[in-house]
Amino acid sequence: MEFDFDLFVIGGGSGGVRAARLTSELGFKVGLCEEYRMGGTCVIRGCVPKKLLYYASDFSKSFETSSSFGWNISDLTFNWEKLIKSKDIEISRLEKIYHNNLVKAGVKVFNTRGEVKTKHTVQLNSGETFSARNILIAVGGYPSIPNYDGSQYCISSNEVFDLKVLPERILIIGGGYIACEFASILNGLGTKVLQLYRGRSILRGFDSEVTNHVAQAMMARGIDLQFNKEVKKISKTEAGFLVTISDGTSVTVDLVLSATGRTPATKDLGLEKLGLTLGEVGEVLVNEYSQTAIPSIFAVGDVTNRANLTPVAIREGAAFVRTVFEGKPTEAIHSSIPTAIFTQPEIGTVGLTEDEAKTKGPVEVFVAKFRPMSNVLSGNSEQILMKILVNQESQKVLGVHIAGAGASEMIQLAGVAIQMGARKEDFDNTIAVHPTAAEELVTMKLPSRVS
């Protein structure tokens, strides 16, 4: 059978774009449709703009402590509108690069939504219908806001990047990385932040010693972080939004940001009509090669709800191309993924948590907590936490966790060590770079405890 395309990709995010471009560069005919802006959540309303806002907010701490190092900074002001304008210019530049790279590679791009009609057919909202030997679903996910009295007044992480005015008071609902990152960012920019989470500790799934450390640091920096509480009702008033909390108290804020989770964007894609059963939260179910129960249909990225991170989606897209178009079955690795959480202080983590590591046998836990040199002159009491988890029997390093300035940069190379199967002696035999915070990773000789 003759097909219009060898591959048709639905979704122009990081995973879909990578798969489309690599396939086209191999000489295959590729089409891609995207209903919004090219680049997906990461580029348009996720990692990239978030990091730009993070940089902006981090300056406040630097300005605060600079006097201890001899600087005299007066008349300090911040312009939110200028930051958002600069962010928009950069996002537009990146979006153009994504689009141009696809076109240069020979991909036929359609600026519209697509739906899967048959196992080899995609129909576009423009009315066009194309046949494809293989179809790749890469539509990502979207923020989900629970339904309760007044929940319509909440904004999500989509809208927070385009606020016309920086709020003076904000309530952030949630304890995941999006909620904690925006709590840190807005607090650093001068907003009074109240963060409510229904659980007992933030960042569920990460190492608890690290997350408890960061939670305390966030509160010390001025965030009103409260646990075991939920929002019961939101009312709009002349003074702002009156929020009723589960403990019977209430608070008035200028804005409510709901950051309680994301949902795979599979609605109206036509997958269930083809007989594909979706997962518990609507995710596309795939095997280790990103293939669905219909052999010609594949899915990568957040829509599969495996590891919802941009580099993972890119790796899944590349593995898909190697498997399907190069004939080299390749699995995307979903273990030992280095991850950064841009809270303040930031977190870098790779490998197992302490609780996870204990399931594999006794664990030697190496912990260092110290004030970095940058905090000494200013009298800042905030500490860096570094933690290495080592299997007692094999001496293999199972996890590295860092909370503090520079954690996101340090964890990338720690990820290389973990991926290579490093043992504790490999860390011990590495000469320290002095004076740095990172040197603590190779100077912790004795375990703090055995877990």
At residue 253, the pLDDT reads: 98
- State the alpha helices, DSSP H only, in 164-239: 177-188, 208-220
- Local confidence pLDDT in tens for the 451 residues of the chain: 799 999 999 999 999 999 999 999 999 999 999 999 999 999 999 999 999 999 999 999 999 889 899 999 888 899 999 999 999 999 999 999 999 999 999 999 999 999 999 999 999 999 999 999 999 999 999 999 999 999 999 999 999 999 999 999 999 999 999 999 999 999 999 999 999 999 999 999 999 999 999 999 999 999 999 999 999 999 999 999 999 999 999 999 999 999 999 999 999 999 999 999 999 999 999 999 999 999 999 999 999 999 999 999 999 999 999 999 999 999 998 989 999 999 999 999 999 999 999 999 999 999 999 999 989 888 899 999 999 999 999 999 999 999 999 999 999 999 999 999 999 999 999 999 999 999 999 999 999 999 9
- Measured distance CA(13)–CA(162) in Å, rounded: 20
pLDDT score, position 186: 98
Query: Is residue 334 flagged as an active site residue?
Result: no
Torsion angle, alpha carbons of 143, 198, 211, 351, to 10 = -60
CATH top-level class for 345-450? alpha beta
pTM: 0.95
Contact 138, 303 (CB under 8 A): yes
Secondary element (H or E) of residue 425: helix 424-428
> Is residue 316 helix, strand or coil?
helix
According to the model, what pLDDT value does residue 333 have? 86
CB count within 10 Å of CB 434 equals: 8
- The first and second tokens of residue 32, run together, are 């891609």
Cβ atoms 196, 173 nearer than 8 A: yes
Q: Which pLDDT score, from 0 to 100, does residue 256 have?
A: 98
Q: Which of the listed CATH numbers 3.90.1150.10, 3.40.640.10, 3.50.50.60, 3.40.1640.10 matches domain 5-142+263-324?
A: 3.50.50.60
Residue 214 falls in which region: left (phi positive, over 0), alpha (psi -120 to 50) or beta? alpha
- Among 120, 213, 401, 434, the active-site one is 434
CA distance 86 to 321: 35
Indicate if 345-450 has the same CATH topology as 151-260: no
Cα-Cα-Cα-Cα dihedral sign, residues 69, 72, 78, 82: negative
Dist. CA 432–CA 420, nearest whole Å: 20
Q: Give dist(CA 45, CA 156) in Å, integer.
A: 11
Question: Nearest 5 degrees, angle CA 261-CA 262-CA 265?
Answer: 160
Q: What is the model's pLDDT at position 379?
A: 87
Give counts: helices (H), strands (E), the chain: 12, 22
State the Rg of the chain over Cα: 24
Enter the tokens of residue 119.
């196992």
Q: In 3D, which of 347, 382, 415, 352 has the Cα closest to residue 211?
A: 347
E strand spans, 361-414: 363-370, 384-391, 397-403
The DSSP secondary-structure symbol of 27 reads T
Pick the closest to residue 343 from 54, 107, 20 (CA basis): 54
- Position 174 scores a pLDDT of 98
Check residue 74 and give its pLDDT: 85
Helix (H, G, I), strand (E, B) or coil at 378: coil
User: Residue 2: CB partners within 8 Å, gap ≥ 6?
Assistant: none
The CATH code of domain 151-260 reads 3.50.50.60
Q: Which residues contact 213 (CB under 8 A, 6 or more apart)?
A: 369, 383, 385, 403
Give the domain ranges of the chain.
5-142+263-324, 151-260, 345-450
